Amino acid sequence: MAGMYGTRHTAAMIGALLPLVAVFALQLEPLPEAAFARPAGQIRARAASACELVMMDADGRVLARAAAPAGELDLAALLPTLRDIPSAVRVQAVVAGVPTDAPLVVVPLLGRPTIRTIQDVRPDGKTKFTRIIGWGDQLLDPANAAHVEAKQTWSKEDPAPRSGFRVAVDMDVLFDTSAGAMRFAMRPDMAPNTARNFVELAASGFYDGTIIHRVVPKGRGGTPFVIQGGDPIGTGDGGPGYDIALEPSTLAHDFGVLSMARNDWPDSAGSQWFVGLTRAETARLDGQYCAFGEAIEGAEAIIATERGAIADTETGRPVSPVSVKRATVIPAAAWVPGAGRSAKRVVRPEAVK
């Protein structure tokens, strides 16, 4: 349902992904019956063999370490600071000095800050739209006088409750497209529910056979803007039958950054995604759309999609849309303590800048 943070399909999403973990037989796995943990409860997992557990933030900085035996574990007992994390962290198993298999992602279940909006007008001077100007008690642009004035009318923000934790294997999504492969790493530290929704849709086969129905090779400034897909009917109007709540992601839009498309109302995203093509054109989307992942493979496929002939420049409809033949969910690569994920976000090739 729109307007709910952490919608009711979350439990089904967890259930859909747990069988994948068993298939891969990883060094560190969540227990199927313990995908959620209460605030003071055990955060349970299983280690295939004795190992070192390393807790890292999104940049790979080491937050804590602990030795772990084989078998069932309470991550919170071994890594006590896990209970205080402000955003998602990864717990990596290291066996004999070697980071082994995908890490676990531990997400604190936090209430969403109040979304703050105003009615604004687009550059055409006529079209009104809903602009997000802040979250909770914080403005996105404290230097904007009109937004500062609007803040004076805000009601007081209540503290966000911590309802517990969610535990899952870190998963990437691989798109096998007619233009080549694109592999996306998730950023649960920025938008955990949005990332989870995307992974679950991909795992369920929802994206198989969909097309990239919108390509904008020239944005307002004359440089490439976005490619967009994820609509099961391929028109730009379809979705999964539910809406997800916008999350306050601060991941900057740029080439290769994966974000959610939506209508004017902030909580109207569902399945449609887009990938940024240049920072110059997508910077204006920061704070307005929810960026939740990054392409770590597939720069060539993204550029090939961008360069396709356009049938309708008004809608961005390609002459021959690139199709997502199949979407596959696969465990992420092991994270290296102090360095994080070895595969970094793709960069736009110099030859096509």
pLDDT tens digits, residue range 121-147?
Answer: 999 899 999 999 999 999 999 999 999
- Residues 179/297, Cβ–Cβ less than 8 Å: no
* Helices 192-204, 10-24: crossing angle, 10 deg rounding: 60
> Rg (Cα) of the chain, in Å, rounded?
21
Query: Average pLDDT, whole number, for the chain?
Result: 93
Helix (H) or strand (E) holding 318, with range, is strand 317-318
Tokens 């994966």 belong to residue: 258
pLDDT tens digits, residue range 221-278?
Answer: 999 999 999 999 999 999 999 999 999 999 999 999 999 999 999 999 999 999 999 9
CA-CA distance, 146 to 127, in Å (whole number)?
A: 19
pLDDT tens digits, residue range 1-60?
Answer: 233 233 334 444 444 555 554 556 899 999 988 899 999 999 999 999 999 999 999 999
Short-list 191, 306, 201, CA closest to 256: 306
pLDDT tens digits, residue range 86-125?
Answer: 999 999 999 999 999 999 999 999 999 999 999 999 998 9
Tokens 């990437």 belong to residue: 172
What is the structure's pLDDT at 23?
Answer: 58
| The token pair that represents 285 in the structure block | 């989307």
Tell whether the torsion through CA atoms of 216, 349, 171 and 205 is positive or negative: positive
Q: What is the pTM of this model?
A: 0.92
Q: Which residues make Cβ contacts (< 8 Å) with residue 96, sequence separation at least 6? A: none
What is the structure's pLDDT at 159?
Answer: 85
Classify domain 10-110 at the CATH topology level: Immunoglobulin-like (2.60.40)
For residue 161, name the pLDDT band (cuts at 50, 70, 90).
confident
Boundaries of every domain in the chain: 10-110, 115-158, 171-352
Q: What angle do CA 278, 332, 214 make, to 5 degrees?
A: 35
CA-CA distance, 230 to 240, in Å (whole number)?
A: 9
- Tell me if 10-110 shares its fold with 171-352: no
Q: What is the largest CA-CA distance in the chain?
A: 64
What is the structure's pLDDT at 14?
Answer: 44
Short-list 240, 199, 270, CA closest to 21: 199
- Residues 46/101, Cβ–Cβ less than 8 Å: no
| The token pair that represents 108 in the structure block | 């604190």
What single letter denotes the amino acid at residue 122? R
| DSSP notation for 113-129 | PPEEEEEEE-TTSS-EE
Is pLDDT at 72 greater than 80 in this prediction?
yes
CA-CA distance, 54 to 188, in Å (whole number)?
A: 18
CATH number of this structure's domain 171-352, picked from the four choices 2.40.100.10, 3.40.190.10, 3.30.360.10, 3.40.50.620: 2.40.100.10
Altogether, the residues listed in the chain come to a count of 353
